[in-house]
Structure 1
């Protein structure tokens, strides 16, 4: 007899749940960010959050074969990777679920949505028979953001002047890698003016890093 699959919640219902759980945060997030960036002198440019990577513990040991059999949108190939890969549609995320009960969630565009997704994965595991599974130790490990400073950058000159902080090997990778010490953020900077910021655990560090790098890049503007 075929094992019944644990169903996901309907996307509309889940969207309503997200709004219900975080109404104030979601409504206030954009105006707060706009106000912050306007005060930073970055010409109104706001880094867009592209991915939030978070970890948590479910507090139980898991039989990954059982989880993969009972849960929808789950795949498990222990010869390739020692975790169940599970996906949900709302919030659109991917989870790596380990036998230890550790879980890594990627793909959310906001910290609140990452937490909501992690709660949902926890509920799916509970429905697979692990009723003692509970969400513990949720922590954001990495926030990836991107933006465009809207002017081309002289990467060679930037590398020369800031050689202690950056690496630039265009024959290997077209972007300059800038390692900021405070806040501890790694930035990928491209000649087009595109910038990727990674390594933050709180979004304020992303904004502070962008404020600093924007004023640096302004000094190396092409043309």
Structure 2
């Protein structure tokens, strides 16, 4: 799986400290590549351009919380957070605000990773959908046959739901049990073999998801 982008969260102010409404408005007015419309959304939207014409968006809230989307990879998360912090400090200086506490990066963590993969063959996503529905019905009736489900039984047991309606969306949508955390992982599988996975928070979880669920599905259900 290739990591496409990440979502990160961190704080700029310690404890319960927050920007006053007046200071927050002053900061927003002195930003470069920033947008602030409190009637539409209660955060300063800061856009940071970097190589390959990609853009990371940072949502800065009055509480000092920052949500960054479009971070290229896990390794660059701290670098992008440092750029947000540096730019915000410049905005505060330009606003002539006497800041009582130091602006710094606090509790930076990855909250979501989006990965993609292109399989070499086309995928029979209709067969995955039908086999999963049959497995669910047999499981409810207690009629799951070991001989017939040797390859797919353990695989389907870790899948929460499968949705496929080509009149609404062209991909197979799968929700998967994400071991170690309470949240679910999601996966889109297209007939072409294109796969998009999300809902994991580290490379280890992404690798586990791909090796144990996504790749076996692709290999077991080729489009003939």
Match of 2:47 in 1: 87
Q: Can you give the 5+ residue segments of structure 1 that lack an aligned partner in the other structure?
A: 1-46
Match of 1:135 in 2: 105
Shift of 1:222: 0.7
Instruction: Between 53-62 and 141-150, report the one with greater CA deviation.
Output: 53-62
Q: What is the RMSD of the two structures over their aligned residues, measured on CA atoms?
A: 1.6
Match of 1:169 in 2: 165
Instruction: Between 77-86 and 129-138, report the one with greater CA deviation.
Output: 129-138
Q: TM-score, normalised by structure 1?
A: 0.74
Q: Is the 8 A contact 1:126 1:132 kept in 2?
A: no
1:180 and 2:137 correspond: no
Match of 1:71 in 2: 31
Q: Can you give the 5+ residue segments of structure 2 that lack an aligned partner in the other structure?
A: 93-98, 134-159
Measure the CA separation in 2 of the matches of 1:86 and 1:99: 14
Q: Is the 8 A contact 1:148 1:193 kept in 2?
A: yes
Deviations 1:9-28 (A, max 9, x none): xxxxxxxxxxxxxxxxxxxx
DSSP 3-state at the match of 1:185 = strand
What aligned pairs does 1:144-159 form with structure 2 within 5 A after superposition? Answer: 144-159=114-129
Structure having greater relative contact order (Cα 8 Å, sep ≥ 6):
2
Match of 1:31 in 2: none
Which structure features the higher share of strand residues? 2
Shift of 1:187: 0.5
DSSP 3-state at the match of 1:176 = strand
DSSP 3-state at the match of 2:209 = helix
Aligned residues: 177
What aligned pairs does 1:95-106 form with structure 2 within 5 A after superposition? Answer: 95-106=58-69
Measure the CA separation in 2 of the matches of 1:84 and 1:143: 23
Shift of 1:81: 1.0
